[in-house]
Amino acid sequence: MTEDKNTHSDDQQNWPGLSEIDKALAENRLTAYTWRKTWADPWGRFGLITFFIAFLAFLIYVAIDDGLIVI
């Protein structure tokens, strides 16, 4: 059992960039981690904003086309 713990700690030393993801998985907060990382990246932020604007435009189009909103 001690050997497994030592092997696990060696893996964390070999992959320091993945330790934060491993911690997020252990705490079951991977979605929050992904959103924060995406929002921190300028291109990711641009992609999220573009996606939500396009999705909102689609919803408005569908509402107008179905007659839910009369202009």
Q: What is the pTM of this model?
A: 0.56
Are 37 and 24 contacting, i.e. CB atoms less than 8 angstroms apart?
no
Helix ranges (H only) for 1-71 are 2-14, 19-26, 30-40, 42-65
Question: How sure is the predictor about 23, in pLDDT bands with cuts at 50, 70 and 90?
Answer: confident
- In sequence order, the 6+-apart residues with CB closer than 8 A to the CB of 44 are 37, 38
29-46 pLDDT tens trace: 778 888 889 999 999 999
